[in-house]
Amino acid sequence: MTAGGFLRLGLVGWPLGHSLSPQLHTAALKAAGLDGEYRLYPAAPLPEGAAALAELVEALRQGRLDGLNVTIPHKRSVLPALDELSLAAAAIGAANTLYTRGGRLIGDNTDAPGFLADLARLGFSGDKALVLGAGGSGCAVCYALVHAGWQVSVAARQFEQARSLASSLDGDAGVLEALPLNPAALAGSFSLIVNTTPLGLYPEVQGNPWLEGAAFPAGAAVYDLIYNPAETALVRQARAAGLRASTGLGMLVEQAALAFERWTGVSAPRAAMWEAVEVKEGVTR
């Protein structure tokens, strides 16, 4: 912790204008009775943003910062600068939470447990999941589901990317498989569908990862990692089809709460964090 017990926390990524992290962590600090701040640190994609990213990592290593969140496009590019990775961050190949312990700079991934925590909150359960998208978020979601006992299929526009993800995470043959993104693949008997692509993210709110004309699996629940807008095109379509559906706002809150606990050693005040984003977004749990 920096001088005087003042916590200096923040988020590095690009762009950051849509981020709700300052509201979440400012509310958490206040509710926990901790003195501190949470700032946004824009750093452009590499190579342009390399110097800015390196400067922030060094500030954390030297104790001028107490904790950093990392978002797109640096969850992978930050890894070479770290001394140690959690098991989840190493398996996923991405870190979204940085902190120091005993002089060592550690990278963790709270996206995976944050996603599972929100599934439990919503009561979404089952045994077969379809994950749309094979990027960093897709990898985190697949890792979480496989380790929670789900059989997972991942589909992406670039099939080779989906196959590479499946190969990297599947310790037991058949637990995680790659599928081409076509209507036949989407027609499986899935109990959960998860969108990890950016299709539908503000301001391109009409984007939808679900193929036009494809039917949803009967009785499936739909989870869209996007939380801005408050109701994405995918969530709206799924609800219109009579399915339970949710955006990723709960995952955002939970991954932030877990990061807060890594940095402070204090139990995160989740109710206050929820209130902070519910007021801004006009949504309910």
Q: Kindly state whether residues 139 and 211 are assigned to the same domain.
A: yes
Q: What is the mean pLDDT of residues 111-120?
A: 97
Q: Are 153 and 185 in contact (CB under 8 A)?
A: yes
Q: 174 and 219 share a domain?
A: yes
Nearest to 110 by CA among 94, 124, 131: 94
Asked if residue 198 and residue 173 are part of one domain, the reply reads yes
| Residue 157, in any domain of the structure | yes
The answer to whether 259 and 265 are in contact (CB under 8 A) is: no
Flag the least confident range among 17-31, 58-72, 158-172.
158-172
Asked whether residue 236 falls in the same domain as residue 161, the answer is yes
- Considering the domain architecture, whether residues 16 and 42 belong to the same structural domain is answered as yes
Cα distance between residue 141 and residue 131, in whole Å: 8
Number of domains within the chain = 2
Residues 138 and 38 in one domain: no
CATH of the domain at 16: 3.40.50.10860
What confidence score (pLDDT) does residue 277 get? 92
What's the CATH code of the domain at 226?
Answer: 3.40.50.720
Q: Clarify whether residues 165 and 56 are in a common domain.
A: no
Same domain, 105 and 208: no
Q: Are residues 42 and 103 in the same domain?
A: yes
In a shared domain, residues 51 and 86: yes
Mean pLDDT of the 127-134 span: 96
Question: Which of 30, 75, 128, 280 is labelled catalytic?
Answer: 75
Average pLDDT over residues 19-43: 97
Mean pLDDT on 67-92: 95
Question: Distance between alpha carbon 223 and the CA centroid of its chain, in Å?
Answer: 12
Residue 57 lies in a domain: yes
Span 166-179, mean pLDDT?
78
- Co-location of 267 and 238 in the same domain: no
115 belongs to a structural domain: no
Residue 78 — pLDDT band, cuts 50, 70, 90?
Answer: very high
Instruction: List the domain range (segments joined by +) for residue 150.
Output: 125-243
128 as an active site residue: the answer is: no
Q: What is the pTM of this model?
A: 0.92
Q: What is the pLDDT of residue 172?
A: 52
Task: Name the token pair of 142.
Answer: 């697949």
| DSSP-derived secondary structure letter, 207 | -
Task: Give alpha helix (H) positions in the chain.
Answer: 21-32, 50-61, 87-92, 111-122, 136-147, 159-169, 183-186, 233-240, 249-264, 270-281
User: Is residue 285 pLDDT above 50, yes or no?
Assistant: no
Query: How would residue 202 be classed by pLDDT, with cut points 50, 70 and 90?
Result: confident
Shared domain check, 188 and 82: no
Residue 118 lies in a domain: no
Residue 93 lies in a domain: yes
Question: Does residue 37 belong to any structural domain of this protein?
Answer: yes
Who wins on pLDDT, 1 or 8?
8
In a domain, 64, yes or no: yes
pLDDT tens by residue, 234-246: 999 999 999 999 9
* Residue 120, in any domain of the structure: no
